[in-house]
Structure 1
Amino acid sequence: MLKLESLVFDNGFARLPEAYYSRVCPTPVPDPYLVCYSPQAAVLIDLDPAEMARPELVETLAGNRLLPGMDALAALYAGHQFGHYVPQLGDGRAILLGEVKNAAGEGWEVQLKGAGRTPYSRGGDGRAVLRSSIREFLCSEAMHALGIPTTRALAIVGSDHPVYREDVETAALVTRLAPSFVRFGSFEVFYYRNQIEPIRQLADYVIARYYPELAARAEPYAELLREVARRTAELMAQWQAVGFSHGVMNTDNMSILGLTLDYGPFGFLDAFDPGFVCNHSDSGGRYAFDQQPDVAAWNVTKLAQALVPLLSVETASAAIGDYPQQFGRAYIERMAAKFGLPPGGETVPLLMDTLQLLAQNRVDYTIFLRRLCDFDSTPGALNAPLRDLFPDRPAFDAWAARYAAALRQQDSADATRREAMRALNPKYILRNHLAEAAIRRAADHRDYSEIHRLHALLSRPYDEQPECEAYAAEPPDWAKRIEVSCSS
């Protein structure tokens, strides 16, 4: 583990031509203070977690001082927002400080979100608020603990500097880590400007840095597109299986590495609702939970379109043509495993019928799957803890008999299956009301204990943690009034 002064910064992205970014320094904030940090994320860059308490590091993560080797910049990109092309977006409130390579040879880009105005702020203040920063910090780390590819969150630094949203709030910065923050929109901006060479240079950069095994292929750009489509399909399967809704699946929020990127108005399912819309700003429901796989497919076609100058339309179409099958296969495999069943045979209709039953009875998705781990397949077993979740008891009884028969057909031992399923069905997720309680304590009382408690809890989402049982309960009635929008 390294001291702050021992971190060696580079910035590979900055060695690209300046067409891809603008050099800009963070705007300092007054009197910054550390709100919270992730020791697990610190280890990614070999930083001793004890260093997080040092004022010098807090000043750095506030954007008030740069370390040797940092080369600060804001990246240019465009994107399709809610289906409409926006010609120039870019890092409007995020600034890339540089890259740290750890002892294992892994490069991690270090980015400050909420670091002030950039040339891409489009009239905005370039700031983030404490509320949204807490949500991003907690969900980034929670998703990683769930095994879902994501950007990481190192820390939140706060300041009493006022920021104006619907109300006056206080400023905060999240330090984000990722191998790369390149997005689909990073290619789109040059396609719509009819600038072919920058598309080629960026594709070559991405292949050399993140997909080196593709460089020697006969059609490396087609292989890049195929791999990004595959990773995106896998990511969507993971989102759908765990009940995660992103909320703003614009192409500028889609990672070229298949990471979950940009946590704004996200949400996890409570009562199972296929049409769940977590973003209050999404009045048309474009990014509803059940639309995510298809939206991702549409986004992949936009990436393919942006790469067409490097390959033929036919080749690009073929490269992404397997997306539906890749998503379907990955989703069914995950869901079947969560149910303790093989992915073939009668499992698919059983899974689909189960989801329909959950929707009809408004059953809590996470609680159902966790209690399913303890299902007793003995003929005539009541399975009361699970049965009690369903208002329509006869419908549950019919389903339970069908599920029990499927388990017995596999000659599956309940005890063995229980342990395997508990490793796949989390007990704890970042429900909106849990995040809201942490936000209220932090904003109203400068009490950050609930952030720390949730971070620790969600770092072990599959463990029982009986002392935290209340965090696994259904949300209270007041939680239904929580609205999360693009400003979140």
Structure 2
Amino acid sequence: MSPQAYHPSRALLSLGEEFYDAVAPASFPETVLRFRNDRAAAQIGLATLAGEKWLRHLARFKPLPGTLPGPLAMRYHGHQFRSYSPDLGDGRGFTFAQMRDQAGRLMDLGTKGSGQTPWSRFGDGRLTLKGGVREVLATEMLEALNVPTSRTLSLVETGEGLDRGDEPSPTRSAVLVRLSHSHVRIGTFQRLAYFRDEENMRRLVAYSLSELFGERSDDPVRLLELIVGCTATLASRYMAAGFVHGVLNSDNINVTGESFDYGPWRFAPTWDPAFTAAYFDASGLYAFGRQPEAIHWNVMQLAASLRLIAESDRLIEQLESFASRFQPALADAVLWRMGVLPRDPERDRALARAVERALRATKAPLDQFFFDVFGGDLPASYGEAWQEVRGALSSYPSRKGRDHPYWSGQPCSMLIDEVEAIWAPIAAADDWSSFCGKVAAVRAMGDALS
């Protein structure tokens, strides 16, 4: 496929100044390119942006032609671990450009680590290089595993020493650019409900339906219906991928159902519902098995916000459909990762439930199981506990064969020990070979799966 032509947009400006604050980017001592996503750049018309031009626009944030005139820090509220906070907003990032991708979707270029904003509170507005490396690895792995996610477009080291309490300091700094379908969050709606701002709530609903979902409507119930669907899909894909986001607060849930903003994420080694990613999640609120519940709870807060301009009964009807959308989406996600084609909804859900039961009972490594079973043929080494899965699988046709070179090796994982091992040579000797090798391996897996 040939690279996309550049199609800039200024759609965000139509919301008006009540939604954002114009800010200035930080001035960095250095700008050293550490990661550039050429595949993503080609899809938004930036394939020819290279060298100093790349750094000028994606590290020093000089405006790209025809798009936003300057960086905008978005305003929002949100529940953080179920406690409401009205003091939120983009504190170390901003949106600085919009454009259309190959499918005609509106895409935002947003940052992480680009400096202080009015919402920084006591933060320095910066990002550690290790945090940037971790976000690249998360987004690459999730994209390969068919999880809707923001993509890391660029990672630039910025030459500052940062003091952090949770890692050796001073540590290296970076600025990251993420590509996402939207940075409109559930918390964006919560802020307007908090201020009882009906006019801007209607404006945000119309913007979201038109620009993010391509619908000519201003019906808040229809918007909730769409968001229930895409967030249920996100929850199902998290589970099939074995991914734990770690901080599923309502300011971290994008209304287009794309995962984004990666902090203490981890991939679960086994199907363990109690597995957590964040050391500070003592209650397991956002544990692996509770993520669908957490996402649904956040969508409930969206519905509560939309009551400002919509009837409660109609909103509740859409909310109650979350489970009926999640279950078939989970079956589809599990079957996709097993490399088989769906047959009928009831049998597909039964197979997915059987897989989950066997994974929990045997504590089999997740990535190894999905590697071994891909194409629908479960090896004989999987014993008695897998008989139900083996029997159900026998009638499922393969979605794709195992002729890709990836299947001749070992499964590609992204467990925490390997993430630390990838970072260690970068920290010790500025050796990026393990990082580059891992990105290549993840992409090979994505090619084999897709």
Same fold (TM over 0.5): yes
Q: 1:168 to 1:208 in 2, by over 3 A?
A: same
Q: CA deviation at 1:357?
A: 3.6
Q: CA deviation at 1:324?
A: 0.8
Q: CA deviation at 1:348?
A: 4.6
Q: 1:115 to 1:404 in 2, by over 3 A?
A: closer
Find the partner of 2:388 among 402, 407, 419.
402
Runs of 5+ consecutive residues of structure 2 not aligned to the other structure: none
CA deviation vs aligned residue, 1:203-223 (integer Å, no higher than 9, x gap): 1111221223251xxx72110
- 2:211: which partner in 1? 209
- 1:328: which partner in 2? 327
Name which one, 1 or 2, has greater alpha-carbon Rg: 1
CA deviation vs aligned residue, 1:384-416 (integer Å, no higher than 9, x gap): 3xx3xxxxxxxx32x3443333344x3x57xx5
Residue 118 of structure 2 aligns to a residue whose secondary structure is coil
Q: 1:351 to 1:57 in 2, by over 3 A?
A: closer
Query: In structure 2, what is the Cα distance between the partners aligned to 1:105 and 1:375?
Result: 35
Query: In structure 1, what is the Cα distance between the partners aligned to 2:245 and 2:135?
Result: 12
Residue 406 of structure 1 aligns to a residue whose secondary structure is helix
Which stretch shows the higher mean deviation, 441-450 or 97-106?
97-106
Q: 1:355 to 1:274 in 2, by over 3 A?
A: same
- 1:454: which partner in 2? 438
Query: In structure 1, what is the Cα distance between the partners aligned to 2:219 and 2:356?
Result: 40
1:419 aligns with 2:405: no
Query: In structure 2, what is the Cα distance between the partners aligned to 1:75 and 1:233?
Result: 25
- 1:151: which partner in 2? 150
Q: 1:30 to 1:257 in 2, by over 3 A?
A: same
Structure 1 segment 76-95 matched on structure 2, within 5 A:
76-95=75-94
Residue 182 of structure 1 aligns to a residue whose secondary structure is coil
Residue 215 of structure 2 aligns to a residue whose secondary structure is helix
- 2:427: which partner in 1? 443
Structure 1 segment 87-106 matched on structure 2, within 5 A:
87-102=86-101, 105-106=104-105
Find the partner of 2:172 among 159, 170, 173.
170
Q: 1:198 to 1:39 in 2, by over 3 A?
A: same
Structure 1 segment 167-206 matched on structure 2, within 5 A:
167-206=169-208
- 1:472: which partner in 2? none
Give the residue type in structure 1 aligned to 2:411: K
Residue 162 of structure 1 aligns to a residue whose secondary structure is strand
Assess if the C-alpha contact under 8 Å between 1:23 and 1:73 holds in 2. yes
- 1:243: which partner in 2? 242
Q: 1:443 to 1:81 in 2, by over 3 A?
A: same
Query: In structure 2, what is the Cα distance between the partners aligned to 1:418 and 1:403?
Result: 19
Assess if the C-alpha contact under 8 Å between 2:358 and 2:386 holds in 1. no
Q: 1:337 to 1:444 in 2, by over 3 A?
A: closer
Which stretch shows the higher mean deviation, 54-63 or 291-300?
54-63
Give the residue type in structure 2 aligned to 1:184: I
Give the residue type in structure 2 aligned to 1:358: L
* Percent of matched pairs sharing the same residue: 28
Residue 445 of structure 2 aligns to a residue whose secondary structure is coil
Query: In structure 1, what is the Cα distance between the partners aligned to 2:357 and 2:227?
Result: 31
1:370 aligns with 2:359: no
Q: CA deviation at 1:7?
A: 5.9
Q: 1:288 to 1:316 in 2, by over 3 A?
A: same
Which stretch shows the higher mean deviation, 121-130 or 355-364?
355-364
- 2:228: which partner in 1? 229
Q: CA deviation at 1:326?
A: 0.4
Q: CA deviation at 1:178?
A: 1.6
Which stretch shows the higher mean deviation, 426-435 or 105-114?
426-435
- 2:417: which partner in 1? 433
How many equivalent pairs are there? 438
Assess if the C-alpha contact under 8 Å between 1:272 and 1:358 holds in 2. yes
Q: 1:456 to 1:352 in 2, by over 3 A?
A: same
- 1:252: which partner in 2? 251
Assess if the C-alpha contact under 8 Å between 2:111 and 2:178 holds in 1. yes
- 1:310: which partner in 2? 309
- 1:262: which partner in 2? 261
1:22 aligns with 2:21: yes
Give the residue type in structure 2 aligned to 1:78: H
Residue 162 of structure 2 aligns to a residue whose secondary structure is strand
Residue 213 of structure 1 aligns to a residue whose secondary structure is coil
- 2:53: which partner in 1? 56
Which stretch shows the higher mean deviation, 93-102 or 116-125?
93-102
- 1:393: which partner in 2? none
Residue 74 of structure 1 aligns to a residue whose secondary structure is strand
Query: In structure 1, what is the Cα distance between the partners aligned to 2:234 and 2:193?
Result: 25
Which stretch shows the higher mean deviation, 440-449 or 169-178?
440-449
Q: 1:316 to 1:401 in 2, by over 3 A?
A: closer
CA deviation vs aligned residue, 1:75-102 (integer Å, no higher than 9, x gap): 0001000011111211000121121335
Query: In structure 2, what is the Cα distance between the partners aligned to 1:374 and 1:228?
Result: 32
Residue 200 of structure 1 aligns to a residue whose secondary structure is helix
Residue 437 of structure 2 aligns to a residue whose secondary structure is helix
Two-structure CA RMSD over aligned residues (Å): 2.9
Assess if the C-alpha contact under 8 Å between 2:376 and 2:393 holds in 1. no
Q: CA deviation at 1:192?
A: 1.2
Q: 1:286 to 1:302 in 2, by over 3 A?
A: same
Assess if the C-alpha contact under 8 Å between 2:330 and 2:352 holds in 1. no
Query: In structure 1, what is the Cα distance between the partners aligned to 2:365 and 2:122?
Result: 41
Assess if the C-alpha contact under 8 Å between 1:375 and 1:383 holds in 2. no
Query: In structure 2, what is the Cα distance between the partners aligned to 1:345 and 1:24?
Result: 52
Assess if the C-alpha contact under 8 Å between 1:32 and 1:59 holds in 2. no
Q: 1:450 to 1:338 in 2, by over 3 A?
A: closer
Query: In structure 2, what is the Cα distance between the partners aligned to 1:337 and 1:441?
Result: 35
CA deviation vs aligned residue, 1:108-152 (integer Å, no higher than 9, x gap): 221221000000111100101101111112222332222221111
Assess if the C-alpha contact under 8 Å between 1:236 and 1:327 holds in 2. yes
Residue 355 of structure 1 aligns to a residue whose secondary structure is helix
Query: In structure 1, what is the Cα distance between the partners aligned to 2:387 and 2:400?
Result: 18
Which stretch shows the higher mean deviation, 33-42 or 428-437?
428-437
Residue 174 of structure 1 aligns to a residue whose secondary structure is strand
Give the residue type in structure 2 aligned to 1:56: K
Residue 310 of structure 1 aligns to a residue whose secondary structure is coil
Give the residue type in structure 1 aligned to 2:390: A
Q: 1:244 to 1:301 in 2, by over 3 A?
A: same
Q: CA deviation at 1:296?
A: 0.9
Q: 1:14 to 1:164 in 2, by over 3 A?
A: farther
Q: CA deviation at 1:61?
A: 2.0
Give the residue type in structure 1 aligned to 2:183: F
CA deviation vs aligned residue, 1:227-251 (integer Å, no higher than 9, x gap): 0111101111111112111111000
Assess if the C-alpha contact under 8 Å between 1:80 and 1:252 holds in 2. yes
Query: In structure 2, what is the Cα distance between the partners aligned to 1:422 and 1:349?
Result: 29
